[in-house]
A and B are shown apart, each in its own frame.
Chain A
Amino acid sequence: MRRRLRLVFGAVAALLLGAALWEGYKAVGSDDGASLFGVRVLPRADDSAMPHVLDILRRFGEPELAGGDPIWLVVLDACLFTLRSVAVGFGVGAVIGLVLAVVMQRFRVVERGLLPYVILSQTVPLIALAPVIAGWGGKLSLGSYPWQPWMSVATIAAYLAFFPIAVGMLRGLHSPAAIAEELMHSYAAGWWRTLVKLRLPASTPYLFPALRLAGAAAVVGAVVGEISTGTRGGVGRLVIEYSREATGDPAKVYTAMIGAALLGLAVAALVGAAEFLLNRRRRVLV
């Protein structure tokens, strides 16, 4: 119980520290920032570049447009919409990553042949990929269910999410000591048995960090995918729409950005909770 209290206290303190740093810089920083050889090294501190924390919080409570819903509700709705793309993208990415890792572990030749492409896949710029995936919209369907714009976004999220899982799991599947593998061998355990009884349990310490990375990557992929393809409804779209209004309403941009950041935290927390539950169950079993 005390540990949990300390955790909550720590989180609140970190938030306050962040706000204090923001306001502190605003107080001491020059309105015009600082430039070194014509390159701005410190950001401007005026109200249009860095609105006061209180102004941003107040903006959450005000309506998005005259007479419309308050911003917090709009941003929350958008985050939930994006969360669906993130969840589907994360799930699909995790499955693909796991399968790839298992296949690569099983067949050395596949690992040698495939791994470079897996790494290469992450160097393709997203802005080149996004329109292509969005273009599937008019052509694909899942059975009788037509392809929805959010599925393009989920695909982009999956594309980013599968990578850390494939690489992390491969490492984890390779992790059992040779002596453990030989023991399984002496039991006459086949490949499948060895995988289920030895390799998968041994890989969990590698899996969860990989899942956390994948969760973050899925959020980035979904938000960037929404920005890139202009998918209506998500928080990525809000970021780009609000940034166009930065001239007259600078606090508004930050509401969407905070929303996107909180979405990332929420996904990380979900992965953390899954890890906690799984570890507890394992402890009970052992």
Chain B
Amino acid sequence: MRKTLIGGALAGALVLAGCGTADDSSSDSSSSGGTTAVKLQLQWFVQAQFAGYIAAVDKGFYKEQGLDVQILEGGVDIVPQTVLAQGQADFAVSWVPKALASREQGAEITEIAQIFQRSGTYQVSFKDSNITSPADLRGKKVGNWGFGNEFELFAGMTKAGLDPGKDVTLVQQQFDMQALLRRDIDAAQAMSYNEYAQLLEAKNPATGQLYQPADFTVIDWNTVGTAMLQDAVWANSSKLESDTAYQETAVKFLTGSLKGWAYCRDNAAECRDMVVKKGSKLGASHQLWQMNEVNKLVWPSPNGVGLLDETAWKATVDLALTTKNQDGQTVITKQPTGTAYTNEYVQKAIDALKASGTDVTGASFKPETVTLNEGGA
């Protein structure tokens, strides 16, 4: 009976499409009982890549700031910067090149913090393939994910004097790393904190043991010099311009988030447990590996965590303008217009954290050594 009631109500809502708009446009920072409700849209499911935000919720760092933060998970077809631009979230986490492309298509968003200072994208191959630099990719089968995830690879190949359209065979890669392990492709795209770990969690049929880092060669785009900026926090441009309450919320949100990231730097295992508790389906050793690798991307942050390095921004924009993928497309066609980024709010957040005694540079950060178990368990 209840089902039919809900069904009927649903049908009504469908027929009246649009008439069911909630009374309060709930995604606006509506205050309730002294706390401000904030929605954060992630790029993917909950995993250690987003540990800082999760820790800030669990440890009450947002609450200290008077915020009630709800974390929205991503999905295959969820584009965080679109969700943000449409007003269904207050802040979003997105890679810089993808967000720049969305901006060019009309999304009014502004970067307010650069959480990952470094890129986590690798191109991985078996050691015996002797691919130690992008130039060695000539004539090889090169896996890539496409959908805007491939531009560092293409920039690297172009820099090495290769024509990605002619000199290599490009292969569309799946979510898993089986194609590389079976040698269907010679080099595979992998995130240091995810797919690379999956390789090390798989059994090598030749030895009966897990694959070892020594079995692979890694091309790191940070070293090659074609890295592009990744996880950044984006905000709604027009609200940022005119809405003083939103500006204050932005500073508070960043203060809480950065405190979360600092906490996860010093308490990797505890943050791993929080992520696992949030219902991540990836195993515990995999998540600890991911936490550790993500920490390496965030820390150390010599200028302060979350502060955007303008040289790196310029390098990312230049690569986004000039690098062509196999279809001859670039990420963006002209320089970003309007306020694409601002360090104003993150600087305030850093100052606030410094004043309260939080280490915001992580100069003494030392990554751990994580042992992966089979299947990441």
Contacts and interface: CB of A to CB of B under 8 A. Distances in A.
A142 B73 contact: no
Contact of B3 (A87, A158, A241, A245): A87
Interface string B179-193: 001100000000000
A91 interface: yes
B13 A230 contact: no
A246 B25 CA distance: 41
B55 interface: no
B281 A241 contact: yes
A134 B375 contact: no
A46 B183 CA distance: 14
Contact of A141 (B22, B76, B177, B202): B22
Contact of B375 (A95, A96, A227, A249): A249
A175 interface: no
A138 B73 CA distance: 13
A231 B78 CA distance: 11
Interface in A28-59: 44, 46, 48-49
Interface in B1-43: 3-4, 6-11, 13-14, 20-22, 25-27, 39
Contact of B202 (A158, A228, A240, A247): A247
A88 B26 contact: no
A24 B176 CA distance: 26
A65 B377 contact: yes
Contact of A65 (B3, B86, B283): B283
Contact of A134 (B75, B87, B279): B75
Given A155-B14, A243-B175, A248-B374, A130 B283 contact: no
Interface residues of A, number: 48
Contact of A248 (B25, B26, B175, B376): B376
Given A243-B175, A246-B178, A139 B78 contact: no
B148 to A, nearest CB: 16
Contacts of B89: 138
B22 A131 contact: no
B45 A241 contact: yes
Contact of B176 (A131, A137, A245): A245
A244 B145 CA distance: 14
Given A92-B14, A247-B177, A247-B181, A142 B9 contact: yes
B74 to A, nearest CB: 6
B77 A65 contact: no
B126 to A, nearest CB: 15
Nearest to B89: A138
* Dominant secondary structure of chain A at its interface with chain B: helix
B207 to A, nearest CB: 15
B236 interface: no
Contact of A247 (B27, B83, B176): B176
Contacts of B133: none
Interface string A75-94: 00000000000011001100
A230 B74 contact: yes
Given A91-B3, A243-B176, A140 B21 contact: yes
B199 interface: yes
B198 A247 contact: yes
A130 B77 contact: yes
Interface string A133-167: 01101111111001000010011001000000000
Interface in A242-277: 242-249
Contacts of B276: 65
A64 B276 CA distance: 12
A79 to B, nearest CB: 16
B282 interface: yes
Contacts of B83: 135
A236 to B, nearest CB: 10
Contact of B76 (A44, A46, A240): A240
Interface string B209-236: 0000000000000000000000000000
B45 to A, nearest CB: 6
A274 to B, nearest CB: 14
A207 interface: no
A238 interface: yes
17 contacts: A88-B6, A91-B7, A92-B11, A95-B11, A131-B77, A131-B82, A138-B26, A138-B39, A139-B25, A140-B20, A140-B22, A228-B75, A230-B78, A243-B175, A244-B198, A247-B199, A248-B376
Given A44-B182, A87-B3, A131-B79, 12 more contacts: A48-B182, A49-B178, A95-B8, A96-B11, A138-B39, A139-B21, A140-B13, A155-B10, A241-B282, A244-B176, A246-B178, A248-B201
Please provide the 5 A-B residue pairs with the shortest distance between their CB atoms, ordered closest to farther. Answer: A230-B75, A138-B88, A248-B375, A246-B176, A91-B7
Interface of B: 3-4, 6-11, 13-14, 20-22, 25-27, 39, 44-45, 73-79, 82-83, 86-89, 175-178, 181-182, 198-199, 201-203, 276, 279, 281-284, 373-377
